[in-house]
Amino acid sequence: MPYDFDLFVIGGGSGGTRCARISATHGARVGVAEERFWGGTCVNVGCVPKKLMVQAAEYGQWAEDARGFGWHIVKGGHDWKDFIAAKDEQIDRLKNIYKTMLQKAGAHEFEAHVRFIDPHTLDIGGNRKTAEHIVIATGGTPRRPVCIGAELAGTTDDLFYLPERPKSIAIIGGGYSAVEFAGVFAALGTKVHLIYRQPLPLRGFDGDMREAVAEALAAQGVSLHHGVLLSKIEAEREGRFVHLSDMTKLHVDYVVMTTGRVPNTHDLGLEAAGVALDDKGAVRVDEGGHTNVPGIYAIGDVTDRLNLTPVAIAEGHALADTLFGQKPRTASHRNVPTAVFTSPPLSTVGLTEEEAARRGATDIYLSRFRPLRHIMTGRNRHTVMKLVVDQASQKVLGAHMLGEDAGEIMQGLAIAIRMGATKQDFDSTIGIHPTAAEEFVTMRTRSRVAGVADEAAAAE
Protein backbone atom coordinates (compact mmCIF):
# COMPACT_ATOMS: atom_id res chain seq x y z
CA MET A 1 0.00 0.00 0.00
CA PRO A 2 1.45 3.42 -0.92
CA TYR A 3 1.92 5.84 1.98
CA ASP A 4 0.99 9.54 2.02
CA PHE A 5 4.52 10.39 3.23
CA ASP A 6 7.90 8.73 3.25
CA LEU A 7 8.54 10.44 6.59
CA PHE A 8 6.31 12.19 9.09
CA VAL A 9 7.84 14.11 11.99
CA ILE A 10 5.78 14.84 15.10
CA GLY A 11 7.22 18.02 16.58
CA GLY A 12 8.53 21.21 15.00
CA GLY A 13 11.39 21.90 17.39
CA SER A 14 15.07 22.04 16.59
CA GLY A 15 15.57 18.29 16.20
CA GLY A 16 12.32 17.62 14.37
CA THR A 17 12.69 20.41 11.84
CA ARG A 18 16.30 19.43 11.10
CA CYS A 19 15.27 15.83 10.48
CA ALA A 20 12.35 16.92 8.28
CA ARG A 21 14.35 19.47 6.30
CA ILE A 22 17.34 17.22 5.59
CA SER A 23 15.07 14.32 4.67
CA ALA A 24 13.20 16.55 2.21
CA THR A 25 16.46 17.72 0.62
CA HIS A 26 17.35 14.05 0.15
CA GLY A 27 14.17 13.70 -1.92
CA ALA A 28 11.78 12.23 0.64
CA ARG A 29 8.10 13.20 0.82
CA VAL A 30 7.97 14.76 4.27
CA GLY A 31 5.25 15.97 6.59
CA VAL A 32 5.88 17.70 9.91
CA ALA A 33 3.37 18.78 12.56
CA GLU A 34 3.74 21.26 15.40
CA GLU A 35 0.97 21.79 17.93
CA ARG A 36 2.26 24.72 19.98
CA PHE A 37 5.04 26.79 18.41
CA TRP A 38 7.59 26.30 15.64
CA GLY A 39 11.14 26.12 16.93
CA GLY A 40 10.12 24.23 20.04
CA THR A 41 11.36 24.84 23.56
CA CYS A 42 14.77 26.26 22.66
CA VAL A 43 13.51 29.04 20.42
CA ASN A 44 10.42 29.98 22.41
CA VAL A 45 10.84 29.20 26.11
CA GLY A 46 14.39 27.92 26.39
CA CYS A 47 17.95 28.69 25.42
CA VAL A 48 17.34 31.56 22.97
CA PRO A 49 15.13 33.86 25.08
CA LYS A 50 17.05 32.85 28.20
CA LYS A 51 20.32 33.95 26.58
CA LEU A 52 18.66 37.26 25.69
CA MET A 53 17.66 37.66 29.35
CA VAL A 54 21.23 36.93 30.42
CA GLN A 55 22.50 39.60 28.04
CA ALA A 56 19.91 42.09 29.30
CA ALA A 57 21.22 41.52 32.82
CA GLU A 58 24.85 41.89 31.70
CA TYR A 59 24.29 45.39 30.31
CA GLY A 60 23.39 46.66 33.76
CA GLN A 61 26.53 45.12 35.24
CA TRP A 62 28.69 46.62 32.50
CA ALA A 63 27.24 50.05 33.22
CA GLU A 64 28.32 49.67 36.85
CA ASP A 65 31.74 48.29 35.92
CA ALA A 66 32.49 51.10 33.48
CA ARG A 67 33.44 53.45 36.32
CA GLY A 68 36.57 51.38 36.94
CA PHE A 69 37.70 52.35 33.43
CA GLY A 70 36.91 56.05 33.70
CA TRP A 71 33.36 56.03 32.30
CA HIS A 72 30.84 57.76 34.53
CA ILE A 73 27.60 56.18 33.38
CA VAL A 74 24.40 56.89 35.28
CA LYS A 75 22.57 53.58 35.47
CA GLY A 76 18.81 53.92 35.12
CA GLY A 77 16.15 51.35 35.91
CA HIS A 78 15.51 48.36 33.67
CA ASP A 79 12.32 48.53 31.55
CA TRP A 80 11.01 44.97 31.70
CA LYS A 81 8.11 45.58 29.31
CA ASP A 82 10.35 47.07 26.63
CA PHE A 83 12.72 44.14 26.91
CA ILE A 84 9.96 41.51 26.72
CA ALA A 85 8.50 43.22 23.63
CA ALA A 86 11.93 43.23 21.94
CA LYS A 87 12.48 39.60 22.95
CA ASP A 88 9.11 38.55 21.53
CA GLU A 89 9.90 40.28 18.24
CA GLN A 90 13.11 38.27 17.89
CA ILE A 91 11.38 35.00 18.79
CA ASP A 92 8.69 35.61 16.17
CA ARG A 93 11.43 36.24 13.61
CA LEU A 94 13.14 32.93 14.46
CA LYS A 95 9.86 30.99 14.35
CA ASN A 96 9.23 32.30 10.86
CA ILE A 97 12.73 31.24 9.81
CA TYR A 98 11.99 27.67 10.94
CA LYS A 99 8.80 27.59 8.88
CA THR A 100 10.48 29.14 5.86
CA MET A 101 13.29 26.59 5.92
CA LEU A 102 10.78 23.75 5.89
CA GLN A 103 8.81 25.32 3.05
CA LYS A 104 11.92 25.87 0.94
CA ALA A 105 12.92 22.24 1.46
CA GLY A 106 9.52 21.09 0.25
CA ALA A 107 8.17 19.67 3.52
CA HIS A 108 4.44 19.85 4.23
CA GLU A 109 3.57 21.64 7.49
CA PHE A 110 0.64 20.93 9.77
CA GLU A 111 -0.31 22.99 12.82
CA ALA A 112 -2.23 20.36 14.74
CA HIS A 113 -2.12 17.76 17.49
CA VAL A 114 -1.04 14.31 16.31
CA ARG A 115 -1.99 10.87 17.65
CA PHE A 116 -1.01 7.41 16.49
CA ILE A 117 -3.82 5.19 15.19
CA ASP A 118 -1.44 2.36 14.31
CA PRO A 119 2.31 2.12 13.56
CA HIS A 120 1.91 3.78 10.16
CA THR A 121 -1.28 5.84 10.55
CA LEU A 122 -1.66 9.20 12.28
CA ASP A 123 -4.59 11.39 13.23
CA ILE A 124 -3.45 14.92 12.41
CA GLY A 125 -5.99 17.35 13.76
CA GLY A 126 -8.83 15.08 12.66
CA ASN A 127 -7.33 14.03 9.33
CA ARG A 128 -5.75 10.63 8.74
CA LYS A 129 -2.37 10.37 7.05
CA THR A 130 -0.01 7.44 6.61
CA ALA A 131 3.78 7.38 6.61
CA GLU A 132 6.42 4.72 6.06
CA HIS A 133 8.66 6.26 8.72
CA ILE A 134 7.52 8.31 11.72
CA VAL A 135 9.77 10.34 14.03
CA ILE A 136 8.66 11.37 17.52
CA ALA A 137 10.32 14.70 18.35
CA THR A 138 7.92 16.22 20.87
CA GLY A 139 10.53 17.34 23.41
CA GLY A 140 9.78 17.85 27.07
CA THR A 141 7.58 19.90 29.35
CA PRO A 142 8.28 21.48 32.77
CA ARG A 143 7.87 19.15 35.74
CA ARG A 144 5.90 20.49 38.69
CA PRO A 145 6.70 18.67 41.97
CA VAL A 146 3.86 17.66 44.23
CA CYS A 147 3.44 19.83 47.32
CA ILE A 148 0.72 21.81 49.02
CA GLY A 149 0.09 24.96 46.98
CA ALA A 150 2.16 23.86 43.96
CA GLU A 151 -0.48 25.39 41.69
CA LEU A 152 0.45 28.82 43.07
CA ALA A 153 3.88 28.64 41.43
CA GLY A 154 4.84 29.25 37.83
CA THR A 155 7.17 27.22 35.64
CA THR A 156 10.17 28.27 33.59
CA ASP A 157 7.87 28.75 30.58
CA ASP A 158 5.98 31.47 32.46
CA LEU A 159 9.07 33.54 33.25
CA PHE A 160 9.41 34.64 29.62
CA TYR A 161 5.96 36.26 29.63
CA LEU A 162 5.65 37.88 33.05
CA PRO A 163 3.86 41.24 32.71
CA GLU A 164 6.08 42.77 35.41
CA ARG A 165 9.44 41.85 36.87
CA PRO A 166 8.87 40.62 40.43
CA LYS A 167 10.63 42.51 43.21
CA SER A 168 11.33 39.21 44.96
CA ILE A 169 11.29 35.63 43.73
CA ALA A 170 11.77 32.12 45.11
CA ILE A 171 13.34 29.74 42.59
CA ILE A 172 12.84 26.08 43.45
CA GLY A 173 15.59 23.86 42.03
CA GLY A 174 19.34 23.75 41.50
CA GLY A 175 19.78 22.82 37.85
CA TYR A 176 20.65 24.73 34.66
CA SER A 177 17.57 26.94 34.54
CA ALA A 178 17.49 27.59 38.29
CA VAL A 179 20.99 29.04 38.50
CA GLU A 180 20.65 30.92 35.22
CA PHE A 181 17.42 32.64 36.22
CA ALA A 182 18.78 33.33 39.70
CA GLY A 183 21.64 35.32 38.16
CA VAL A 184 19.39 37.09 35.66
CA PHE A 185 16.82 38.32 38.15
CA ALA A 186 19.43 39.29 40.74
CA ALA A 187 21.24 41.42 38.15
CA LEU A 188 17.97 43.08 37.13
CA GLY A 189 17.30 44.11 40.73
CA THR A 190 15.05 41.33 42.05
CA LYS A 191 15.67 39.82 45.49
CA VAL A 192 16.32 36.15 44.71
CA HIS A 193 16.00 33.08 46.94
CA LEU A 194 17.42 29.91 45.37
CA ILE A 195 16.15 26.75 47.06
CA TYR A 196 17.64 23.32 46.34
CA ARG A 197 17.93 20.00 48.17
CA GLN A 198 21.58 19.20 47.34
CA PRO A 199 24.54 20.73 49.22
CA LEU A 200 25.55 22.50 45.99
CA PRO A 201 23.72 23.45 42.78
CA LEU A 202 24.21 21.75 39.39
CA ARG A 203 24.20 18.09 40.39
CA GLY A 204 26.30 16.05 37.97
CA PHE A 205 28.79 18.83 37.18
CA ASP A 206 32.37 18.89 38.41
CA GLY A 207 32.60 19.49 42.17
CA ASP A 208 35.00 22.45 41.96
CA MET A 209 32.73 24.10 39.41
CA ARG A 210 29.66 23.55 41.57
CA GLU A 211 31.39 25.28 44.47
CA ALA A 212 32.49 28.13 42.21
CA VAL A 213 28.94 28.64 40.90
CA ALA A 214 27.55 28.77 44.45
CA GLU A 215 30.18 31.37 45.39
CA ALA A 216 29.39 33.43 42.28
CA LEU A 217 25.66 33.39 43.02
CA ALA A 218 26.25 34.45 46.62
CA ALA A 219 28.54 37.26 45.42
CA GLN A 220 25.63 38.54 43.32
CA GLY A 221 23.42 38.72 46.38
CA VAL A 222 21.40 35.56 45.75
CA SER A 223 20.21 33.96 48.99
CA LEU A 224 21.12 30.27 48.83
CA HIS A 225 18.92 27.82 50.73
CA HIS A 226 20.70 24.49 50.27
CA GLY A 227 19.94 21.07 51.67
CA VAL A 228 16.26 21.89 52.14
CA LEU A 229 12.96 20.87 50.56
CA LEU A 230 9.90 22.90 49.64
CA SER A 231 7.13 22.08 52.13
CA LYS A 232 4.27 24.23 50.90
CA ILE A 233 3.28 27.48 49.23
CA GLU A 234 0.54 29.74 50.54
CA ALA A 235 -1.22 32.59 48.80
CA GLU A 236 -0.94 36.01 50.33
CA ARG A 237 -2.69 39.10 49.01
CA GLU A 238 0.54 40.69 47.82
CA GLY A 239 2.56 37.59 47.03
CA ARG A 240 3.36 34.11 48.30
CA PHE A 241 4.60 32.52 51.51
CA VAL A 242 7.12 29.74 50.87
CA HIS A 243 7.63 27.19 53.66
CA LEU A 244 10.85 25.13 53.68
CA SER A 245 11.71 21.89 55.46
CA ASP A 246 14.11 23.69 57.83
CA MET A 247 11.16 25.79 59.08
CA THR A 248 12.23 28.86 57.11
CA LYS A 249 9.30 30.96 55.88
CA LEU A 250 9.89 33.32 52.96
CA HIS A 251 7.63 36.06 51.66
CA VAL A 252 8.08 36.72 47.94
CA ASP A 253 6.18 38.19 45.01
CA TYR A 254 6.57 35.13 42.81
CA VAL A 255 7.52 31.46 43.01
CA VAL A 256 8.86 29.44 40.07
CA MET A 257 9.47 25.71 39.83
CA THR A 258 12.68 24.90 37.95
CA THR A 259 12.77 21.25 38.95
CA GLY A 260 13.48 19.71 35.58
CA ARG A 261 11.43 18.60 32.60
CA VAL A 262 9.63 15.40 31.67
CA PRO A 263 9.34 13.82 28.21
CA ASN A 264 6.29 15.04 26.33
CA THR A 265 4.69 11.67 25.51
CA HIS A 266 1.21 12.28 26.90
CA ASP A 267 -1.77 11.89 24.55
CA LEU A 268 0.25 10.79 21.51
CA GLY A 269 -1.49 7.42 21.28
CA LEU A 270 1.84 5.62 21.61
CA GLU A 271 0.09 2.59 23.06
CA ALA A 272 -1.84 2.18 19.79
CA ALA A 273 1.46 1.90 17.94
CA GLY A 274 3.06 -0.29 20.62
CA VAL A 275 5.91 2.15 21.33
CA ALA A 276 7.71 1.31 24.59
CA LEU A 277 8.45 3.92 27.25
CA ASP A 278 10.83 3.78 30.18
CA ASP A 279 9.81 4.30 33.80
CA LYS A 280 10.15 8.08 33.41
CA GLY A 281 7.84 8.19 30.40
CA ALA A 282 10.65 8.67 27.86
CA VAL A 283 10.61 6.84 24.53
CA ARG A 284 13.04 3.93 24.56
CA VAL A 285 15.49 4.05 21.67
CA ASP A 286 18.77 2.51 20.61
CA GLU A 287 21.87 4.47 19.61
CA GLY A 288 20.36 5.30 16.20
CA GLY A 289 17.01 6.50 17.55
CA HIS A 290 15.06 3.33 16.67
CA THR A 291 12.18 2.46 18.98
CA ASN A 292 10.98 -1.10 19.54
CA VAL A 293 8.55 -0.67 16.60
CA PRO A 294 10.05 -0.90 13.08
CA GLY A 295 9.66 2.38 11.21
CA ILE A 296 9.13 4.51 14.35
CA TYR A 297 11.98 6.61 15.75
CA ALA A 298 12.50 9.22 18.45
CA ILE A 299 15.04 12.03 18.82
CA GLY A 300 15.79 14.83 21.26
CA ASP A 301 14.46 15.43 24.75
CA VAL A 302 11.54 13.00 24.38
CA THR A 303 14.15 10.23 24.73
CA ASP A 304 15.60 11.82 27.91
CA ARG A 305 19.19 10.92 27.05
CA LEU A 306 21.25 14.08 26.60
CA ASN A 307 18.78 16.95 26.64
CA LEU A 308 20.59 19.63 24.69
CA THR A 309 19.39 21.40 21.54
CA PRO A 310 22.55 20.72 19.47
CA VAL A 311 22.28 17.03 20.38
CA ALA A 312 18.68 16.88 19.12
CA ILE A 313 19.75 18.61 15.91
CA ALA A 314 22.64 16.17 15.42
CA GLU A 315 20.33 13.19 16.05
CA GLY A 316 17.77 14.51 13.57
CA HIS A 317 20.36 15.12 10.88
CA ALA A 318 21.97 11.70 11.36
CA LEU A 319 18.61 9.95 11.17
CA ALA A 320 17.69 11.80 7.96
CA ASP A 321 21.02 10.85 6.38
CA THR A 322 20.53 7.24 7.47
CA LEU A 323 16.98 6.88 6.14
CA PHE A 324 17.20 8.85 2.90
CA GLY A 325 20.75 10.05 2.29
CA GLN A 326 22.48 6.70 1.82
CA LYS A 327 24.90 7.78 4.60
CA PRO A 328 24.00 5.65 7.63
CA ARG A 329 25.45 7.11 10.81
CA THR A 330 24.62 7.99 14.41
CA ALA A 331 25.16 11.16 16.43
CA SER A 332 27.87 10.80 19.05
CA HIS A 333 27.00 11.54 22.67
CA ARG A 334 30.66 11.44 23.71
CA ASN A 335 32.45 14.59 24.89
CA VAL A 336 29.51 16.90 24.19
CA PRO A 337 30.33 20.44 25.32
CA THR A 338 27.77 22.51 27.14
CA ALA A 339 27.38 25.87 28.87
CA VAL A 340 25.36 27.18 31.79
CA PHE A 341 24.75 30.89 31.42
CA THR A 342 25.29 31.93 34.99
CA SER A 343 27.10 35.17 35.73
CA PRO A 344 29.88 34.53 34.87
CA PRO A 345 29.06 31.55 32.66
CA LEU A 346 30.13 27.97 33.26
CA SER A 347 31.18 25.71 30.40
CA THR A 348 32.42 22.16 30.32
CA VAL A 349 33.37 19.27 28.06
CA GLY A 350 34.32 15.69 28.87
CA LEU A 351 34.65 14.01 32.25
CA THR A 352 34.38 15.60 35.66
CA GLU A 353 37.08 14.89 38.23
CA GLU A 354 34.69 12.57 40.03
CA GLU A 355 33.93 10.57 36.87
CA ALA A 356 37.57 10.33 35.83
CA ALA A 357 38.77 9.31 39.30
CA ARG A 358 36.45 6.30 39.25
CA ARG A 359 38.31 5.09 36.15
CA GLY A 360 41.77 5.34 37.65
CA ALA A 361 44.64 7.67 38.48
CA THR A 362 43.90 11.21 37.33
CA ASP A 363 45.99 14.38 37.35
CA ILE A 364 44.10 17.55 38.21
CA TYR A 365 45.20 21.02 37.11
CA LEU A 366 43.22 23.84 38.71
CA SER A 367 43.59 27.60 38.43
CA ARG A 368 41.58 30.27 40.19
CA PHE A 369 42.19 33.98 39.69
CA ARG A 370 40.54 37.36 39.59
CA PRO A 371 40.53 38.64 35.99
CA LEU A 372 42.33 41.90 35.30
CA ARG A 373 38.99 43.41 34.25
CA HIS A 374 37.56 42.94 37.72
CA ILE A 375 40.69 44.04 39.51
CA MET A 376 39.88 47.31 37.75
CA THR A 377 36.11 47.24 38.35
CA GLY A 378 36.27 46.01 41.94
CA ARG A 379 33.56 43.44 41.25
CA ASN A 380 33.89 40.30 43.39
CA ARG A 381 34.14 37.87 40.50
CA HIS A 382 36.63 35.07 39.89
CA THR A 383 37.53 32.78 37.02
CA VAL A 384 38.07 29.08 37.72
CA MET A 385 39.66 26.78 35.12
CA LYS A 386 40.34 23.07 35.36
CA LEU A 387 41.85 20.24 33.33
CA VAL A 388 41.22 16.57 34.13
CA VAL A 389 44.04 14.39 32.74
CA ASP A 390 44.42 10.62 32.59
CA GLN A 391 47.68 9.93 34.41
CA ALA A 392 48.76 6.95 32.31
CA SER A 393 48.12 8.28 28.80
CA GLN A 394 48.19 12.00 29.66
CA LYS A 395 45.07 12.47 27.52
CA VAL A 396 42.92 15.40 28.59
CA LEU A 397 39.64 13.81 29.66
CA GLY A 398 37.80 16.96 30.66
CA ALA A 399 37.98 20.75 30.67
CA HIS A 400 35.88 23.03 32.85
CA MET A 401 35.67 26.80 33.20
CA LEU A 402 33.69 29.38 35.12
CA GLY A 403 34.40 32.82 33.78
CA GLU A 404 33.71 35.40 31.08
CA ASP A 405 33.27 33.89 27.60
CA ALA A 406 33.56 30.34 28.97
CA GLY A 407 31.20 28.95 26.32
CA GLU A 408 33.13 30.60 23.49
CA ILE A 409 36.43 29.23 24.80
CA MET A 410 35.14 25.71 25.47
CA GLN A 411 33.89 25.22 21.93
CA GLY A 412 37.48 25.16 20.66
CA LEU A 413 38.70 22.96 23.50
CA ALA A 414 35.93 20.46 22.71
CA ILE A 415 37.48 19.82 19.29
CA ALA A 416 40.89 19.15 20.84
CA ILE A 417 39.50 16.81 23.50
CA ARG A 418 37.41 14.88 20.98
CA MET A 419 40.56 14.41 18.91
CA GLY A 420 42.42 12.95 21.89
CA ALA A 421 44.73 15.84 22.77
CA THR A 422 47.22 15.22 25.57
CA LYS A 423 48.36 17.53 28.33
CA GLN A 424 51.63 17.89 26.42
CA ASP A 425 49.67 19.10 23.37
CA PHE A 426 48.13 21.79 25.57
CA ASP A 427 51.51 22.67 27.09
CA SER A 428 53.18 23.06 23.69
CA THR A 429 50.48 25.39 22.39
CA ILE A 430 51.34 29.10 22.50
CA GLY A 431 48.82 31.13 24.44
CA ILE A 432 47.09 34.26 23.20
CA HIS A 433 48.12 37.04 25.56
CA PRO A 434 46.56 38.67 27.47
CA THR A 435 43.48 36.44 27.65
CA ALA A 436 41.91 34.17 30.23
CA ALA A 437 41.93 31.36 27.65
CA GLU A 438 45.74 31.19 27.68
CA GLU A 439 45.55 29.76 31.18
CA PHE A 440 44.45 26.44 29.67
CA VAL A 441 47.83 26.13 27.92
CA THR A 442 49.98 27.51 30.74
CA MET A 443 48.82 25.37 33.69
CA ARG A 444 52.05 23.48 34.36
CA THR A 445 51.78 22.58 38.05
CA ARG A 446 49.55 19.68 38.95
CA SER A 447 47.16 20.63 41.74
CA ARG A 448 46.46 17.11 42.98
CA VAL A 449 46.02 13.47 42.00
CA ALA A 450 42.59 11.89 42.06
CA GLY A 451 41.59 8.25 41.81
CA VAL A 452 43.82 5.23 42.37
CA ALA A 453 47.21 6.88 41.88
CA ASP A 454 50.62 5.41 42.32
CA GLU A 455 52.05 6.61 45.62
CA ALA A 456 55.21 8.03 44.14
CA ALA A 457 53.26 10.13 41.66
CA ALA A 458 50.89 11.34 44.34
CA ALA A 459 53.81 12.36 46.54
CA GLU A 460 55.58 14.47 43.92
Spatial separation of the C-alpha atoms in residues 348 and 326, rounded to whole Å: 34
- Please state whether beta strands 249-252 and 296-298 pair in parallel, antiparallel, or not at all (unpaired): unpaired
Helix runs in 241-297, H state only: 270-273
For the question of residue 433 being annotated catalytic, the response is yes
Coil vs helix vs strand at 168 = strand
Q: What is the CA radius of gyration of the chain?
A: 24
Q: CA dist 438 to 209, 427, 428, Å? A: 19, 10, 12
Task: Give me the residues paired with residue 255 across strands.
Answer: 170
Q: CA 15, CA 64: separation in Å to the nearest integer?
A: 40
Helix (H) or strand (E) holding 160: none
Of 424, 345, 421, 429, give the one whose Cα is nearest residue 383: 345
15 SS3 class: helix
Q: Please compute, for residue 361, the number of CA atoms within 13 A of its CA located in the half-sphere on the CB side.
A: 12
Residue type, 414: A
| Residue 398: its H or E element | strand 396-402
Q: Specify the amino acid at residue 79.
A: D
Note whether 247 and 164 are within 8 A (CB). no
CA distance 342 to 114: 37
Where do runs of H (alpha helix) occur along 26-78?
40-45, 47-65
By C-alpha distance, which of 341, 403, 407 is closest to 372? Answer: 403
Indicate which residues carry an active-site annotation: 433
